[in-house]
Structure 1
Protein backbone atom coordinates (compact mmCIF):
# COMPACT_ATOMS: atom_id res chain seq x y z
CA UNK A 1 0.00 0.00 0.00
CA UNK A 2 1.27 3.43 -0.89
CA UNK A 3 2.31 5.15 2.34
CA UNK A 4 0.55 8.41 1.43
CA UNK A 5 -2.73 6.55 0.90
CA UNK A 6 -2.14 4.66 4.15
CA UNK A 7 -1.41 7.91 6.01
CA UNK A 8 -4.65 9.48 4.76
CA UNK A 9 -6.71 6.42 5.70
CA UNK A 10 -5.05 6.26 9.12
CA UNK A 11 -5.62 9.97 9.77
CA UNK A 12 -9.31 9.54 8.87
CA UNK A 13 -9.51 6.55 11.21
CA UNK A 14 -7.78 8.54 13.96
CA UNK A 15 -10.31 11.39 13.67
CA UNK A 16 -13.27 8.99 13.69
CA UNK A 17 -11.94 7.07 16.69
CA UNK A 18 -11.32 10.27 18.65
CA UNK A 19 -14.90 11.38 17.91
CA UNK A 20 -16.21 7.96 18.96
CA UNK A 21 -14.20 8.11 22.20
CA UNK A 22 -15.53 11.58 22.98
CA UNK A 23 -19.10 10.42 22.35
CA UNK A 24 -18.75 7.35 24.55
CA UNK A 25 -17.15 9.39 27.33
CA UNK A 26 -19.99 11.91 27.15
CA UNK A 27 -22.57 9.13 27.50
CA UNK A 28 -20.72 7.64 30.45
CA UNK A 29 -20.33 10.99 32.20
CA UNK A 30 -23.96 12.01 31.63
CA UNK A 31 -25.32 8.77 33.01
CA UNK A 32 -28.32 9.11 30.70
CA UNK A 33 -29.81 5.98 29.22
CA UNK A 34 -30.84 6.07 25.59
CA UNK A 35 -34.63 6.31 25.11
CA UNK A 36 -35.36 6.57 28.84
CA UNK A 37 -38.68 8.28 29.58
CA UNK A 38 -38.69 11.02 32.19
CA UNK A 39 -39.91 10.06 35.59
CA UNK A 40 -38.83 7.80 38.39
CA UNK A 41 -36.20 5.16 37.90
CA UNK A 42 -37.02 1.72 39.17
CA UNK A 43 -34.73 -1.21 39.94
CA UNK A 44 -34.91 -2.40 36.32
CA UNK A 45 -33.83 1.01 35.07
CA UNK A 46 -30.77 0.91 37.31
CA UNK A 47 -29.92 -2.55 36.01
CA UNK A 48 -30.30 -1.40 32.42
CA UNK A 49 -28.13 1.62 33.19
CA UNK A 50 -25.39 -0.61 34.58
CA UNK A 51 -25.59 -2.85 31.53
CA UNK A 52 -25.33 0.09 29.12
CA UNK A 53 -22.46 1.56 31.14
CA UNK A 54 -20.59 -1.76 31.03
CA UNK A 55 -21.13 -1.97 27.27
CA UNK A 56 -19.90 1.59 26.84
CA UNK A 57 -16.82 0.86 28.97
CA UNK A 58 -16.04 -2.06 26.65
CA UNK A 59 -16.57 0.11 23.57
CA UNK A 60 -14.37 2.83 25.06
CA UNK A 61 -11.60 0.35 25.82
CA UNK A 62 -11.75 -1.09 22.30
CA UNK A 63 -11.73 2.35 20.69
CA UNK A 64 -8.74 3.42 22.79
CA UNK A 65 -6.81 0.27 21.80
CA UNK A 66 -7.60 0.79 18.12
CA UNK A 67 -6.60 4.47 18.36
CA UNK A 68 -3.26 3.45 19.86
CA UNK A 69 -2.81 0.96 17.01
CA UNK A 70 -3.58 3.65 14.42
CA UNK A 71 -1.16 6.08 16.07
CA UNK A 72 1.54 3.38 16.14
CA UNK A 73 0.99 2.79 12.41
CA UNK A 74 1.38 6.53 11.75
CA UNK A 75 4.69 6.43 13.66
CA UNK A 76 5.83 3.46 11.55
CA UNK A 77 5.11 5.51 8.41
CA UNK A 78 7.28 8.30 9.80
CA UNK A 79 10.03 5.80 10.74
CA UNK A 80 9.91 4.12 7.33
CA UNK A 81 8.93 0.75 8.79
CA UNK A 82 5.27 0.74 7.76
CA UNK A 83 4.20 -2.55 6.17
CA UNK A 84 6.86 -4.57 7.98
CA UNK A 85 5.84 -6.94 10.77
CA UNK A 86 7.01 -5.67 14.15
CA UNK A 87 7.44 -9.30 15.24
CA UNK A 88 9.09 -11.07 12.32
CA UNK A 89 10.43 -8.20 10.24
CA UNK A 90 8.74 -9.69 7.16
CA UNK A 91 6.56 -7.66 4.79
CA UNK A 92 2.86 -7.55 5.61
CA UNK A 93 0.80 -8.53 2.53
CA UNK A 94 -0.89 -5.67 0.66
CA UNK A 95 -4.29 -7.33 1.11
CA UNK A 96 -3.89 -7.22 4.90
CA UNK A 97 -2.88 -3.56 4.85
CA UNK A 98 -5.81 -2.75 2.59
CA UNK A 99 -8.19 -4.45 5.04
CA UNK A 100 -6.51 -3.12 8.16
CA UNK A 101 -4.13 -0.21 7.54
CA UNK A 102 -2.93 -0.29 11.15
CA UNK A 103 -1.82 -3.94 10.96
CA UNK A 104 1.52 -4.41 12.70
CA UNK A 105 1.95 -8.16 12.32
CA UNK A 106 1.33 -11.02 9.96
CA UNK A 107 -1.69 -13.26 10.38
CA UNK A 108 -1.23 -16.95 11.20
CA UNK A 109 -2.18 -17.64 7.60
CA UNK A 110 0.50 -15.24 6.30
CA UNK A 111 3.11 -16.94 8.47
CA UNK A 112 2.07 -20.39 7.24
CA UNK A 113 2.33 -19.22 3.62
CA UNK A 114 5.73 -17.60 4.08
CA UNK A 115 8.65 -19.45 2.51
CA UNK A 116 11.09 -21.13 4.87
CA UNK A 117 14.53 -19.61 5.10
Structure 2
Protein backbone atom coordinates (compact mmCIF):
# COMPACT_ATOMS: atom_id res chain seq x y z
CA UNK A 1 0.00 0.00 0.00
CA UNK A 2 1.44 3.37 -0.94
CA UNK A 3 1.93 6.03 1.71
CA UNK A 4 -0.73 8.41 0.34
CA UNK A 5 -3.41 5.70 0.38
CA UNK A 6 -2.38 4.55 3.85
CA UNK A 7 -2.45 8.13 5.18
CA UNK A 8 -5.90 8.77 3.67
CA UNK A 9 -7.31 5.57 5.16
CA UNK A 10 -5.75 6.21 8.57
CA UNK A 11 -6.92 9.83 8.71
CA UNK A 12 -10.42 8.76 7.71
CA UNK A 13 -10.40 6.09 10.43
CA UNK A 14 -9.17 8.63 12.98
CA UNK A 15 -11.95 11.09 12.11
CA UNK A 16 -14.60 8.35 12.34
CA UNK A 17 -13.24 7.11 15.67
CA UNK A 18 -13.23 10.67 17.04
CA UNK A 19 -16.87 11.13 15.97
CA UNK A 20 -17.87 7.79 17.51
CA UNK A 21 -16.14 8.56 20.80
CA UNK A 22 -17.83 11.97 20.97
CA UNK A 23 -21.26 10.42 20.38
CA UNK A 24 -20.64 7.70 22.96
CA UNK A 25 -19.49 10.27 25.53
CA UNK A 26 -22.67 12.34 25.04
CA UNK A 27 -24.42 13.87 28.04
CA UNK A 28 -26.09 11.26 30.23
CA UNK A 29 -29.88 11.26 30.12
CA UNK A 30 -31.42 12.48 33.34
CA UNK A 31 -33.01 9.58 35.19
CA UNK A 32 -35.92 11.68 36.54
CA UNK A 33 -38.99 9.69 37.60
CA UNK A 34 -37.89 6.30 36.34
CA UNK A 35 -38.33 3.00 38.07
CA UNK A 36 -35.44 1.06 39.57
CA UNK A 37 -35.58 -1.30 36.58
CA UNK A 38 -35.18 1.65 34.20
CA UNK A 39 -32.26 2.96 36.25
CA UNK A 40 -30.65 -0.50 36.09
CA UNK A 41 -31.13 -0.52 32.34
CA UNK A 42 -29.44 2.88 32.12
CA UNK A 43 -26.49 1.52 34.11
CA UNK A 44 -26.19 -1.41 31.73
CA UNK A 45 -26.35 0.98 28.76
CA UNK A 46 -23.70 3.18 30.38
CA UNK A 47 -21.46 0.15 30.96
CA UNK A 48 -21.91 -0.92 27.34
CA UNK A 49 -21.16 2.61 26.11
CA UNK A 50 -18.03 2.76 28.29
CA UNK A 51 -16.84 -0.57 26.90
CA UNK A 52 -17.36 0.75 23.37
CA UNK A 53 -15.48 3.95 24.25
CA UNK A 54 -12.59 1.86 25.61
CA UNK A 55 -12.39 -0.19 22.40
CA UNK A 56 -12.62 2.90 20.18
CA UNK A 57 -9.96 4.67 22.25
CA UNK A 58 -7.56 1.72 21.91
CA UNK A 59 -8.18 1.61 18.16
CA UNK A 60 -7.68 5.39 17.95
CA UNK A 61 -4.30 4.99 19.69
CA UNK A 62 -3.32 2.31 17.16
CA UNK A 63 -4.26 4.62 14.27
CA UNK A 64 -2.28 7.54 15.73
CA UNK A 65 0.73 5.25 16.20
CA UNK A 66 0.39 4.08 12.58
CA UNK A 67 0.40 7.70 11.41
CA UNK A 68 3.57 8.27 13.46
CA UNK A 69 5.20 5.25 11.80
CA UNK A 70 4.16 6.64 8.42
CA UNK A 71 5.76 10.01 9.27
CA UNK A 72 8.93 8.22 10.45
CA UNK A 73 9.15 6.22 7.22
CA UNK A 74 8.72 2.84 8.90
CA UNK A 75 5.04 2.21 8.13
CA UNK A 76 4.51 -1.35 6.97
CA UNK A 77 7.43 -2.73 8.99
CA UNK A 78 6.67 -5.00 11.95
CA UNK A 79 7.45 -3.15 15.19
CA UNK A 80 8.73 -6.39 16.73
CA UNK A 81 10.81 -8.15 14.08
CA UNK A 82 11.24 -5.43 11.43
CA UNK A 83 9.97 -7.64 8.60
CA UNK A 84 7.39 -6.24 6.18
CA UNK A 85 3.75 -6.45 7.24
CA UNK A 86 1.92 -8.19 4.34
CA UNK A 87 -0.01 -5.89 1.97
CA UNK A 88 -3.21 -7.86 2.57
CA UNK A 89 -2.95 -7.28 6.31
CA UNK A 90 -2.38 -3.56 5.82
CA UNK A 91 -5.29 -3.38 3.40
CA UNK A 92 -7.56 -5.00 5.97
CA UNK A 93 -6.06 -3.28 9.03
CA UNK A 94 -4.16 -0.14 8.00
CA UNK A 95 -3.22 0.43 11.64
CA UNK A 96 -1.55 -2.99 11.95
CA UNK A 97 1.82 -2.67 13.70
CA UNK A 98 2.94 -6.30 13.51
CA UNK A 99 3.29 -9.06 10.96
CA UNK A 100 0.88 -11.97 11.37
CA UNK A 101 3.44 -14.16 13.14
CA UNK A 102 4.44 -11.52 15.72
CA UNK A 103 0.79 -10.56 16.32
CA UNK A 104 -0.10 -14.23 16.88
CA UNK A 105 2.77 -14.62 19.35
CA UNK A 106 1.69 -11.47 21.18
CA UNK A 107 -1.90 -12.72 21.48
CA UNK A 108 -0.75 -16.13 22.74
CA UNK A 109 1.26 -14.46 25.53
CA UNK A 110 -1.84 -12.66 26.76
Scaled by the length of structure 1, the TM-score of the pair is 0.82
Q: CA deviation at 1:110?
A: 8.4
- 1:31 aligns to what? 28
Q: CA deviation at 1:63?
A: 0.6
Q: Quick one: distance in 2 between partners of 1:99 and 1:51?
A: 32
Larger radius of gyration: 1
Query: How many residues are treated as equivalent by the alignment?
Result: 104
Q: Quick one: distance in 2 between partners of 1:105 and 1:86?
A: 6
The runs of at least 4 aligned residues of structure 1 exceeding 4 Å deviation read none
Residue deviations 1:34-67 (CA, integer Å, cap 9, x gap): xxxx973001101100100000000001111101
- 1:16 aligns to what? 16
Q: Quick one: distance in 2 between partners of 1:22 and 1:110?
A: 30
Q: Quick one: distance in 1 between partners of 2:51 and 2:32?
A: 28
Matched, 1:98 2:91: yes
- 1:4 aligns to what? 4
Scaled by the length of structure 2, the TM-score of the pair is 0.87
Change (3 A) 1:41 1:66: same
Q: Which runs of 5+ in 1 are unaligned?
A: 112-117
Q: Which runs of 5+ in 2 are unaligned?
A: 105-110
